[in-house]
Structure 1
């Protein structure tokens, strides 16, 4: 038989190698939403002083997004079971932009919390649908999609968090939120253009969620996700306060170091994901170690090492847990993802609230110590849970 023509081979290559534009768009979208979620940690002292609340209370600006997210993640697919997922993602990003504008203009803490609640709806909904939409667009490349979405989280921390800190210091914390609003609107337009239509799963709705909730191993994994996310967010809203305790001048660069570690963690997670059980146990354990070292550090080099390890470990967690829940519950991926997001949001609420209480009562070290214990417990839990082979 004659060999195929160059034109035929080119067409075949195009089919075999789909455009990566959808993953780039989703990664940018998640970067902006996560950067928005973590913005209060970048500007916490100035925000608290301007609004007139303690730094511990101001940390609840992170918890507020999580409260809304915990409610939204399991319910949004139930309320809108047939809506195209691209349309939903674009609408949620638009809501995130509006939420940042509300915070930027907030005259008091109550209005600020309202904006953060709206942001929580946007983040939880986007997390619930981004993975499935990406897999649909990329022909089932789960590891690539998970790593791409997680890379957006790392990008938010390596660029968004320190840039927000600089903008907050030089111009004002309100300008940081205003800039986030504009950039989130841009990513909404990018997703609308780059992502193909993504029809809802035929079984989406309350029935799919009910079946997922009967899966005991999935629920046990969700409990471990709660522990590891609680551990991180008991400490993360107060990272700036912890760094300023040792060297106020190094704060911005230590935030960059956290993000650099995060980029490395995302890449490493994509590699180690072939041994998913190991990855799921390793990431929380390393997180616990990093938090304990950060809590006891007394010099900048030790604190820097702890923060880099912290960023690396925590940014392995989204990749690990996304792949873990979708491996354990492969028939109901959307519901499994919503359960993962709910677990994260519940833990963010509890963690940031507990961390704020510990900070105000005992000082900045205790949120880190408590977070370390919870993270190590999560690692042990994942080590004990078996997952199906592919």
Structure 2
């Protein structure tokens, strides 16, 4: 029988406590109230770095679409499918891998994903054709969802319960940096020296982060009590609150990726920015996302529903504005400025909403935050797959239609978020 929201909250509050201290080592440190010690700051930085390099590798084709297409003699839409297939594999493997590794020390699970990433990028850098490149990317796609599923729960186990949202947001700084630094940098490297150099650089950085994670992070072995509520025993498929968050995520991410997959094309054909300047607008998009992180850190823990609704509303408006610009046949300084401003808002709100949704998912499945995060990530990756594939079809029809579809889906997500109750509820600190 399905579990209603009230029962989910009650179960979360009654059984949440073991996960506030995933190891004796972490308990000793967080119980003193020293939330952001230098040691914890370094550990969170390594987790953010892991997210950074993984997402940079994932979205590399976005900034290198033309370079890859020319080098491997395939069309731009075909290169765009690299994101769709990557996300599809991640979506299919996330939940099984999260369950399979549920009893592992958390550091071990993270290290496995980073090793797969390093190997896949090494193969990609020397891929002789598009098929080999696609297969190489599948290697890290298999563990991509697992990495994003464990990195935020690991972060929350390093701090007191009252700071879980902020710890989750800290890991998302790495994702924002992937957009503000990783994507523009790989795009620039692809323009100047070729996309293979960009992939080789990712390989080296991934190897270094793997070593840093092994040295800096504690093993985080789960206790016998914690092991009773992880994996298949968590019954997340019966958790209505968690399923609602996952469905909302699926809708919003699909709408986002319909257009984001072809963001370079939008910059060129809608905003009117071309050539190497594309990297600068991509950087502005990422900078906005990075700047949004400290702004949403406290609201994630205190007023999550109002904040996520605000972000989604702004995103809906951004896609409406870009759709209007795309339908227009003019290209003036004003349209460039309006388009650039829309991109800045797009970057800030899209990156700000993600940690809120993941934090809501982990609160909804507090007995097994890794498993709850895994279900959320599966929905996220399905959204990327659906959005990328739909974006490719709509791009072939027209760019305005593609942007309009993003606006419609984001508006649907906004309406659903506004109508839901209890989904983004934060339990009192005494029960956290």
TM-score, normalised by the number of residues in structure 1? 0.92
State how far apart, in whole Å, the 2-side matches of 1:131 and 1:41 are.
25
Q: 2:66–2:76: 8 Å Cα contact kept in structure 1?
A: yes
2:297 to 250, 270, 284: 270
Q: Does structure 2 retain, via aligned residues, the 8 Å contact 1:68–1:121?
A: yes
- Give yes or no for contact 1:40–1:47 (8 Å, CA) kept in 2: yes
Does residue 58 of structure 1 match 2:79? Answer: yes
Residue pair 1:65, 1:118 contacting (<8 A) in 2 also = no
Query: What is the CA-CA distance between 1:81 and the residue it aligns to?
Result: 2.8
Q: Which moved more, 1:341-350 or 1:330-339?
A: 330-339
**Structure 2: gaps of 5 or more residues:** 1-28, 326-330, 428-432
| Residue 114 (structure 1) aligned to one of 106, 129, 135 | 135
| Secondary structure, counterpart of 2:104 in structure 1 | coil
Deviations 1:16-58, CA, capped at 9 Å, x for gaps: 2432111000001101111111100010011112222221121
Cα drift, residue 331 of structure 1: 2.3
Which residue in the other structure is 2:368 paired with? 332
Say if 2:230 is the partner of 1:204.
Answer: yes
Task: Give the counterpart of 1:308 among 324, 344, 364.
Answer: 344
CA contact (8 A) 1:262 1:311 kept: yes
SS state at 1:16 partner: coil
How far off its partner does 1:14 sit? 8.0
- Take 1:320 and 1:136, find their aligned partners in 2: how far apart are those partners? 17
2:230 match: secondary structure: coil
Bigger mean CA deviation after superposition, 80-89 or 36-45: 80-89
| Cα distance between partner residues in 2 of 1:346 and 1:336 | 16
Counterpart for residue 370 of structure 1 = 405
User: How many residues are matched?
Assistant: 377
- 1:346 aligned partner: 382
Secondary structure class of the residue paired with 2:186: helix
Aligned to 2:307: 279
Is the counterpart of residue 254 in structure 1 residue 275 in structure 2? no
Q: In 2 relative to 1, CA 13–214 (structure 1 residues): closer, same or farther, beyond 3 Å?
A: closer
Counterpart Cα distance in 2 of 1:295 and 1:207: 46
Return 141-150 or 282-291, whichever deviates more: 282-291
1:29: which partner in 2? 50
TM-fit CA distance, 1:389: 4.0
Residue 3 (structure 1) aligns with:
none
The answer to whether the 8 A contact 2:99-2:371 is kept is no
Q: Which position in structure 2 is the counterpart of 1:318?
A: 354
Cα offset, 1:291, TM superposition: 2.2
Is 2:296–2:307's contact at 8 Å kept on the other side of the alignment?
A: yes
Judge which range, 162-171 or 17-26, deviates more. 17-26
Task: List runs of 5+ in structure 1 lacking aligned partners.
Answer: 1-10
1:59 shift after superposition: 0.6
Residue 74 of structure 1 contacts residue 339 of structure 1 at CA under 8 Å; is this kept in 2? yes
**Partner residue of 1:385?**
420
Residue 15 of structure 1: how far off its partner (Å): 6.7
Alpha-carbon deviation of 1:13? 11
TM-score by length of 2: 0.83
The 3 A distance-change label for structure 1 pair 271 and 137 is closer
Q: Which deviates the most, 123-132 or 11-20?
A: 11-20
* Farther off after superposition, 347-356 or 198-207: 198-207
